[in-house]
Each structure stands twice: as structure tokens, then as C-alpha cells.
Amino acid sequence: MSWYIGTLEEVEAYNEKVNEAKAYKGSITSNWANPRQHPDGSKWAIAANNSIEPQEESSLIFTESLSEDWTPEIEL
């Protein structure tokens, strides 16, 4: 799964753009993706839709996968 990384506002704007483009017709599905916060709180990520680019003015950064530091630490 590929991702876009940026601020919360940027990833939410991207999500809204995908939702508008998809215009879901089913009774259950209504949202493209949920923004995900980095464990250190500094940035956000959202799943990339391969068919829909971010807005031109967006500074979202595309990545093929999230690095290990995005995985929250759990007590083992």
C-alpha cells in the first residue's frame, strides 16, 4: 500500500478529494481512508489512491510504504 505524508489538513483535503471523486453508491462505504498520525505526533499519513493525485498546491509526499517508525510501539 502506498501513502501520502503531510499535515493533518493536507491529508484530510486529499481524503475529501478522493471521496468526491468516488461518490460511493453503496449503503456502507462512505469514506476513502482514515488519516494516521505518526507516533511522535509530527506528521500524518493517508492511504494513496492510485487513480487520484493530490491537489496541485498540496505538498504531500508520496511513499510506497511507511517506514518502521510509523508503527506504534507495544508492550511485549
Partner 1 sequence: MANSNNWGEIYKSTWWGDKAWSANTLFIDSAPPGFGLNLLKASEDMNITRDWSQWLISVAANSTDEAAPNATDTAEKLTFTDAPQSRIQQQIALEANTTYTFSVYAKVRTGTQNFRLRNVTLGQAQQFTADTSWGLNPDDGRYSFSFTTGATAITHTLSIQNAAAAGTGEIFFWGAMLNEGATAGDYVKTEASVGGSAPAPAYSGFGDAFGGVTAYYSLRQFTEAETLNAIRVRRSSDDTEQDIGFDSNGDLDTTALLAFVGTGGTDNGFVTTFYDQSGNGNNATNSTDSEQPLIVSSGSLTQLNSKAAINGDGADDVLSLSTGLNLSSGYSIFQVVQIPSANTYGITISSTDVSNFSRTMMFGSFIKFSADGTNYDNYGGGGNKGAQNLWSSVVDGSGNLDTNRNGSAYGSTITSVTGTFELDIIGTNIGVNSFEFFQELIVFNSDQSSNLGTVTTGGGTGIEGNINTYFDIV
In the complex, least distance from residue 58 CB atom to partner 1, rounded to whole angstroms: 18
Q: How far is the C-alpha of 70 from the C-alpha of 29, rounded, in Å?
A: 26
Closest CA to 47 of 29, 62, 68: 62
In the complex, least distance from residue 48 CB atom to partner 1, rounded to whole angstroms: 9
User: Site for partner 1 (CB under 8 A): how many residues?
Assistant: 23
Q: How far is the C-alpha of 52 from the C-alpha of 23, rounded, in Å?
A: 13
Residues 10-69 that bind partner 1 (CB under 8 A): 22-34, 36, 47, 49
Place of cell 509526499: 61
Q: Which residues bind partner 1 (CB under 8 A)?
A: 1, 22-34, 36, 47, 49, 70-72, 74-76
